[in-house]
Each structure stands twice: as C-alpha cells, then as structure tokens.
Amino acid sequence: MSTDEPLVRVDDLQKYFWENDSLLDRLLGDEPVAVRAVDGVSFDIHEGETLGLVGESGCGKSTTGETLLRLQDRSDGDVEFDGRSVYDLEGAALNDFRREAQVVFQDPFSSLDPRMTIGEIVTQPLEIHDWPWTDPGVETRVEVRTDGISDDIVTATAADDIDKLVTPTDGVATAHVTVRADADVERLAEDVAADHTVDVADGVVAEVEEDLTVEVTRDQGITVHVSVDRSTGELRRNHATGLLDRVGLSVDQLDRYPHEFSGGQRQRIGIARALALEPEFLVLDEPTSALDVSVQAQVLNLLDDLQEEFDLTYLLISHDLSVIRHICDRVAVMYLGEIVEIGPVEAIFEEPKHPYTRALLESVPRASTAEQDRDIETLSGDVPSPRDPPSGCRFRTRCPKVIPPADMNIDQDVFRDLMDLRERVEGRDVSLETVGDGGEFEFEDGQVSGGDVDAFVAALKDRLLDRKLPAEHDAVVEEALAHLAESDWDGAAQRLRETYESVCERENPPLAVSHADSDHPAACHLYDASVPGEPGSDDYQTD
C-alpha cells in the first residue's frame, strides 16, 4: 500500500502560543512568553497507513493535528501534503486540500450543530464545496455487456458530466451497462431494478451499474445513453443517505436531530460528514475517548473497514494505547511538544526504548492476575509547563532512568531522588519557615536563628528525602541544605548541580537512529552513542 513518497510529510513543525503579548502587556513592559505546544515535530505518513500519535493530555497531539490541517497557523517548520507545502496553498489549491484532508473530532456531542438535521450536517460540506463536481478534461465512456443480443447492434453514449458520480480512472469516467433481451422482459426489469437503474424498450432491458440514469431506444439498432438525471439537491441527499448507510445508521434517520442519537451514533455521523467529500486523509482526534467502552471497538472497527474501502490514510491521535494498538501501523510518542520515539506498532509495544514510552505502557492496566503484581516503573513529579520546559531532555524531571554523571557510582533510585531534590531547590519549592515540628526554626533576616543550622539541615533532609543516603551523597546534600539555612537558594542549587549534573539536562537528545533500527528511533541519551563519556553505547544496559 505504501509508496516511497509520503502523502503527509511534517518537517520540524512548531506551534507556539504567546502569553503577555497584548498591547497593554507591551505598554507595561511585560515580555511575551512562548507556550511551546508543538516544538519541532517531524514525521511522515504514507498512503494507506495509520500513524498513531500518543501521549498524555496536553503534550501537543491535538495541536499538531490542527496545525498540519492548517486549522491553526504554524510558528515554524513545514507540512507537505502530496508533495506540496500546505502553507503555500491558496484559492482552488487550498480548497482542494480542505476537501482531501478532513478531521473527526473527539467530542461527538459538541461537534454536531444541534439545530441541523443529520441530513443537513452531512450535506453541508457538499454545499460548501459545491459537490458534485465535473471536470471538462475528463473523458466519459460506456462499457457495454450484452446478453442475448449481438454487440454489433448496440451503440452507447455517456453525458459529459457523469464524472459527477463516477470516479475517473486515468482521466476516464466509465459507466458499465448490461443490455439484455428476454422473453419476459418486464419481469427481468423488475428483478434488476432493485439494485440498479434500468430502462426498457421493445423487449430490451438496459441496466447501469453506477448511480446513473440509463435510457435505451430501439430503432434500426439499440442505442443506450447514460446521464446524471437528478437535481443537485437530490444527488447530495442520496450521497448522504449512502454514507449514513455505510457507517451503520438507518437512512430514515436523515431528518432527525443530533440529540436523538447516542454518543456512538453521533460519532458515526461525524465520520459520515468527514467522508462526504471523498477525502484521502483523515485526522482522527481521540475519536473514541468520549464513548462508552462497549461502543469504542465498534467505531474503531468501522474506521478500519472504511480505510480499506475508501483507500484512506489516517493520523490517529489518542492518549489510549489500546486504541493505538488496535488500529495503527506505526506509532509516534509525544512528550511536552516533542516526539520522543517513533516506530512500527509491534516494536513500540514489544520493545519500547524511551523511558517515557515504557512508563506509558506500564500504566496500562493488565487483565492477567499474574501481571497485576509486576514491578511498575512509575513516573515521579508533574508534567512540566510548556511555558518553561526543562533544559536538555524534557522528560528528565520525571525519568526513572535519568543518567548520572559518567564517573559516579550510584543506584538509579537514589539518583532519581537526588534529581527530584534538586528540582525542588532550583524551583524554590520548599517552605523553609515550616521545617521541623510546628515551625521550630525561627528565621531572622533570612537566617535560621540560634545557631541551629545542623538541626535545621537534619529536619529539612528528613522532610525532602524518604531514604537514607550513602555517606558521600549525604555529605553533599547536607552541604547544599546548609545554604538554605541562610536562604541562599542559588548556593544550594549550585552545590547540588556541580556534583549531580546529568547529560540529560545539558543536551536535548535528538530522535536518533541507533542499533541499526532505522525505523525505530528514540530521543534518549541511553541510545545516543555520540555523547562522549556517557553510557550511550551499544553495550549499555538500559534495564
């Protein structure tokens, strides 16, 4: 299915939102602050493929989808659709893109206008894009099959606009007509009329396979003509009826309103609306997350079937790994505006590389009781703000594998705790006045009074750390915390940084290909052999 050239190519896409950027802010001298929702994302999606974009809420998945569809302006980077930058498109070319790339929204309750009937909702895009279309450059043709009649006496013609209803192949729209003679021609006509349009003349039945009108006349020979013989409104309503039928809704529901449908049915309506313009590419933005578990699988199966039937390409955005596994070919894992790992779905689920991907997979509940007691590598800390993302690797503030300095012999758990301690000190996220029992340490001019520094440090250490540290690290922590007895936050942070600074905070790891896995890169220094003196090498043990 896939070709060499991707249908969608996203290249270093950035989308920043700006705070403190109003005229008043500028008059007051406030600096604008960038909220880096999407920060340098790159991936390809090939024709017929489903790429999953997975990550926690707020990681930038939906903004990526909206920006690549041009529903949001980009801050930088590019998106190519079918070889053309979508940001360069104007006029008819932009209209074509809007038709070819559609979206199914997360919330089937708010994405449908409650004042419109289902028929109006599904036909609205057809009206906006003036469907059905005809192209004067398309040739029209009729292929005739005969039954009981000689081919030589049949002449067939097609109207110039049958490409309104027949998809052209290589610039030719072809209608298929069967011409039959039968003793009981009226009965035969009734039989075939159930599925196809027929016409009868002097003992001859002409039947057209496509949704067209056929006329047959008998004179010297037999003449067949196919055409589009219905009003635009009728064609649109028929098209909507066919789509509703295809997504599993009854055609007699066309004149009903959204509130009369369940969540699953509304999402089916949203899917029918997205398919109305015969798109090539769909962004599915959490298409099942607002649905009951019982109907999620039905909607996913429907999307799977429609992809096959209509040759669709999907970008599936979801926070739910089971949804991703159900339907995707490849998966891109996003964290705080960046892609941290991308690869085939089996590789991501069976051999995840990035510690964040592992943590996401660990957090999926297991049905097997044997697995329920497994050791879970939990994530510490909160998701940092995209206004002020951490330096280096953005996952370092929560990473259970954060890399210690090259010459340091330290347990991973101890190092993680020390990194958390540093985080709090650097963020000044400790209330010094309440250290000890009931605020037993008094501060005068920012200093612990009464020479109680040692007791203050012991009490503060007790509060900040749940474990007893090895002696060498205990000494460093005590030196650092002693600075806080003088409210010297910078001194405390500096003492911890000079001992515990990690490569993970100095350099943001690229989405590097390693270990010959050209289709499964991960942005983590554990896989980056180019970081000198760090454990990023082929023989480094990541477990």
Q: Which residue ranges make up the site for ligand SF4 (CB under 6 A)?
A: 354-355, 393, 395-396, 399, 401-403, 504, 509, 524-526
Q: Which of 214, 218, 182 is nearest to 198 (CA)?
A: 214
Per DSSP, the three-state class of 350 is helix
CA-CA distance, 342 to 537, in Å (whole number)?
20
Q: How far is the CB of 477 from ligand SF4 (least distance, A)?
A: 21
CB 531 within 8 A of CB 405: no
Strand ranges of the sheet holding 76-81, from the earlier edge strand across to the other edge: 33-45, 8-19, 76-81, 84-85
Residue 264 or 352: the one with the smaller Cβ distance to ligand SF4 is 352
CB 417 within 8 A of CB 467: yes
DSSP state of 2: -
Q: Which of 432, 496, 493, 485 is nearest to 463 (CA)?
A: 432
Residue 118 or 421: the one with the smaller Cβ distance to ligand SF4 is 421
Q: How far is the CB of 504 from ligand SF4 (least distance, A)?
A: 3
Amino acid symbol at 36: R
Q: How far is the CB of 402 from ligand SF4 (least distance, A)?
A: 4
What is each CA distance from 91 to 87, 88, 97, in whole angstroms? 12, 10, 10
Q: How far is the CB of 328 from ligand SF4 (least distance, A)?
A: 22
Query: Burial letters for 106-130: b for 16+ Cβ neighbours within 10 Å, e otherwise?
Result: bebeebbeeeebbbebbbbbbeeee
Residue 65 or 355: the one with the smaller Cβ distance to ligand SF4 is 355
Please state the separation of Cα 233 from the chain's center in Å.
35
Residue 61 or 396: the one with the smaller Cβ distance to ligand SF4 is 396
Q: Which of 387, 427, 490 is nearest to 31 (CA)?
A: 387
Q: How far is the CB of 392 from ligand SF4 (least distance, A)?
A: 7
Residue 236 or 353: the one with the smaller Cβ distance to ligand SF4 is 353
CA-CA distance, 521 to 541, in Å (whole number)?
17
Q: How far is the CB of 320 from ligand SF4 (least distance, A)?
A: 22
Residue 6 or 400: the one with the smaller Cβ distance to ligand SF4 is 400
Q: Which of 124, 162, 156 is nearest to 143 (CA)?
A: 156
Residue 53 or 524: the one with the smaller Cβ distance to ligand SF4 is 524
Q: How far is the CB of 411 from ligand SF4 (least distance, A)?
A: 15
What are the φ/ψ torsions at residue 252 (nearest 5 degrees)?
Answer: -80, 5
Q: Tally the residues of the chain.
A: 543
Residue 161 or 505: the one with the smaller Cβ distance to ligand SF4 is 505
Q: Which of 49, 110, 23, 129 is nearest to 313 (CA)?
A: 49
Q: SS3 for 187-246, per residue? A: HHHHHHHCCCEEEEECCEEEEECCCCEEEEEECCCEEEEEECCCCHHHHHHHHHHHHHHH
Q: How far is the CB of 507 from ligand SF4 (least distance, A)?
A: 8
Residue 425 or 531: the one with the smaller Cβ distance to ligand SF4 is 531
Q: How far is the CB of 468 from ligand SF4 (least distance, A)?
A: 25
What are the φ/ψ torsions at residue 155 (nearest 5 degrees)?
Answer: -115, 130
What is each CA distance from 367 to 319, 371, 372, 389, 489, in whole angstroms? 19, 8, 7, 36, 47
Residue 306 or 399: the one with the smaller Cβ distance to ligand SF4 is 399
CA-CA distance, 377 to 382, in Å (whole number)?
15
Q: How far is the CB of 481 from ligand SF4 (least distance, A)?
A: 24
Residue 290 or 399: the one with the smaller Cβ distance to ligand SF4 is 399
Residue 104 or 336: the one with the smaller Cβ distance to ligand SF4 is 336
Residue 290 or 526: the one with the smaller Cβ distance to ligand SF4 is 526
Q: How far is the CB of 531 from ligand SF4 (least distance, A)?
A: 9
CB 18 within 8 A of CB 35: yes
Q: How far is the CB of 255 from ligand SF4 (least distance, A)?
A: 54
CB 254 within 8 A of CB 237: yes
Q: How far is the CB of 428 from ligand SF4 (least distance, A)?
A: 22
DSSP state of 525: G
Residue 73 or 538: the one with the smaller Cβ distance to ligand SF4 is 538
What is each CA distance from 208 to 148, 211, 278, 286, 305, in whole angstroms? 17, 8, 22, 41, 26
Residue 21: CB atoms within 10 A of its CB come to 13
Q: How far is the CB of 86 from ligand SF4 (least distance, A)?
A: 32
